[in-house]
Amino acid sequence: MKDMPRISRVEFEILSLLRAKEMYGLELVKESSMLKRGTVYVTLERMTDKGYVNSREAERAPHESGLPRRIYNISGLGQRALAAAQAAAAAYSSWEAIAQ
Amino acid sequence: MRALASFFRAVDRGSTVVENFLAGPPSRRPTKADRVARLGHMLPTGKHGAAVFVRQLLIQIDDVKHGLPQIKWRSVRLLLYVGFGPVLLTHDILSFCIRLGRRTRRTIVSAPASGVLAVIRFLVPKKAYERIFAQAVEDFREEYYLELSERRVWRARWLHVCLYVTLLATAALWLGTSAAKKVFDLSKIS
């Protein structure tokens, strides 16, 4: 129980988006109304530390200038955490339906 | 600054003509020497009809520009001032606006938040800079350049302001997260 992955709503949203394809921060913000520009990279960094997502530097053409971009994708642990969170959410909603 | 200077020049030119109206005719009518000094080589010197006509026309225009010396009555001059003053000022304001609109001043400016990014780079660890702050700034720069390329300057300026607000929020969240992480690590050790 101690090692059970726990994810917040924002992390759940990010993992759900990254399950479909790898994206960079701005794409994530544009895809979701929950994510904000000011917080998405801090959350992504925290998730990288936890091992839920991996990141790599985007390849750039020689003529392209600017700061190097990072592309994020979901890791194996992230997929398991997302599956567990979805199962927990489904179980909670079915329990709530029974209670009503 | 240049626009302001040209505006004041336009107002000054308008007020000079108005002052000439109010001042009335000069003490003496302009002589041929005065006109030649003012108009210089513009006056045609020929004796045939076209040259005489153009010479007279230029002299008349020059007389009007330098104070309408033919009008002696103050009431008529005031009437002309009331009629002509607003037209003159409107013309000056319109020409100023047209000049301002057509102005294509090109200057080289640094990318948005270059200075702030340099300070952040100095203050925060390299990993945090590359993965958090640089990414956030690059997102805004991408949109900023897109807006500029589509000539939506005010939208680009607004994004520039938003960038600073976002950087503040990011810095606050990063500081909070880092501090919480340190406290958590310390509590685990103890």
Put simply, the answer to whether A41 touches B166 (Cβ < 8 Å) is no
Domain definitions of chain B by residue range: 2-102, 114-189
Q: What residues of chain A lie within 8 A of the CB of B177, using their CB?
A: 42, 46
Instruction: Provide the pLDDT confidence category of residue A17 given band limits of 50, 70 and 90.
Output: very high
Instruction: Provide the pLDDT confidence category of residue B51 given band limits of 50, 70 and 90.
Output: confident
Put simply, the answer to whether B169 touches A69 (Cβ < 8 Å) is no
Measure in Å the smallest separation between the Cα of B161 and chain A Cα atoms: 13
Instruction: Provide the pLDDT for residue B184.
Output: 87
- Kindly tell me the sign of the dihedral angle through the C-alpha atoms of B100, B106, B154, B164: negative
Instruction: Provide the pLDDT for residue B62.
Output: 60
The reported pTM is: 0.59
Instruction: Provide the pLDDT for residue A90.
Output: 86
Residue B22 CA to residue B8 CA, distance in Å, equals 21
Q: Give the one of B140, B142, B177 whose C-beta lies nearest to A42's C-beta.
A: B177
Tokens of B27: 């003490």
* Site of tokens 């103050």: B74
| pLDDT for B66 beyond 60 | no
| pLDDT for A51 beyond 70 | yes
Fold of A9-99: Arc Repressor Mutant, subunit A (1.10.10)
Residue A54, judged by CB atoms within 10 A of its CB (0-12, 13-18, 19+), counts as middle
Instruction: Provide the pLDDT confidence category of residue B109 given band limits of 50, 70 and 90.
Output: confident
Put simply, the answer to whether B136 touches A37 (Cβ < 8 Å) is yes
This complex has an ipTM of 0.82
